[in-house]
Structure 1
Amino acid sequence: MPENEQAPDTEKPTSPFDLEDSDLYSKYLLFSRGEMLFVLRALQQKGCMITAHFDHGKSFFLTSLVDVDGDEDQLIFDYGSNEEMNRKVAGADKVIFTSSLDKVKVQFTLPGITPITHEQRPAFSGNLPESILRLQRREYYRLSTPVANPLKCFVPLADGILETTVLDISGGGIGLMLPADRKDFAADSAFANCKLELPEEGTIVFNMIVRNAFFQSNKTGNSYLRAGCEFDNLSGAKLAAIQRYITRIERERKARESGML
């Protein structure tokens, strides 16, 4: 998905970046300058796509790290392809960056970034962050969703709302079953204002990034596209709702297996 300006969630307007401030995740914060430089340079060297959020989470664009200058504690980010979005982010007083490094979520915040010229090309400059959140995806338990009553995810696309079946879910993301002919779910594609209907928990609205997509066949031999998607800055309240759903379904599954249901 190209750079886009988001509409606010229809839920109570809270920050979508609760992870960075939550005591629950404080043990995953890096404060050492050396450790932070190591993570940032790895993001640069591997060419990891980075989502930059600003305007209280209502706007974002995709970028990458062009250079990490340890001597000056300066970060150079690639310029966006949308000039209006570049102009808006240049005036933002807070930008939150998220990415994935070897299946580990990486997030950090900068008090704004500045347009510059780097190697004769437009770019953005920012200082080394005060801390970096590095959250292992394996911290999340992944649940295969019930076949009899599958979860539904609704993804806004250019040609309308796509209703998809959720194959599995965790606090870090979801696996989606998609028509085999979909061409818009390539790795690193970003989708905003998706909706997930959680029984007994209600509907949550979220952003997500496709991390992998490949073809599979079901029991009847029909092919479909399976997309592994990562939640992008899921709020603490929404994460808690997903974890409650997973816990309840797993409890019910174990009860059936033991003959209690």
Structure 2
Amino acid sequence: MSLFASNDATLPIIEPIGSSLDQMALQIDDPRRVLAIVRDLAMQAEPATLYPVDGQPHLSGRLVQVTEPGRRIVVHLEGPALPAAGPALLVAAPGNLRLQFTTVFDWQQRAGGRVEGTAELPASLVQLQRRRFARQETPLGPTLRAVFQAKGKRRVLSVDDLSLGGVGLRGPLRDHRDLVAGLRLERVRLELGTVLLMDLRLDICSRRPYKSFLAGEQLHFGCEFVDLGDSAQATLQKILERLGSGGGAFQDTAL
């Protein structure tokens, strides 16, 4: 019997995160964060597409419940056919995120033709932040950095890229290994050459390790602005326009 037998045609088909991306860098394995993320999906009855690991056709449904302390999830499908138990990849796309995890489902027929699947809460999941704003790479010459305090330490990270939605930061692994995805950074100062943006708040959305030939082991942090003020947005817009046109955005104090 096919693992997944029918589709709810009213729900979207959500494609898995591409295998070309480094999924280890996008993986979340903190049990508390995994529970919080999946619980948020269930509270919204978020649409989900399930892909059997044996390659059978996908099935659409909704993630509707997380049970505690049993740490199990509940998925509802529409359709009369009862799927066979087995492992599947569940993919959801709330807001500007895409996330996925694999777990083993057991299925039961419920009243009204609904099929209910239960499975263990996954130990980890993969989460991808989809960009809402165009990103501009920053030039190599000027000193572009973010300065802030986090976990009792003064941090100085270089700016790799910039958008109206957020900023990419990088720094040595040895100095910043304790900064993780999900952490909120307060009172951040962005130093963009002669342009300063003060008292910003950033959420770390992704953390990716890599090795630089010159600088050694590094971490790249994808960060999202939180409640960015109108003045800061206007300044960023001018900087991005100049970056896009190849102008010298960071040495001009007349922004």
Q: Shorter-chain-normalised TM-score: which range?
A: 0.3 to 0.5
Which one has a larger percent helix, Structure 1 or Structure 2? Answer: 1
Structure of greater relative contact order (alpha carbons < 8 Å, 6+ residues apart): 1
Bigger radius of gyration: 2
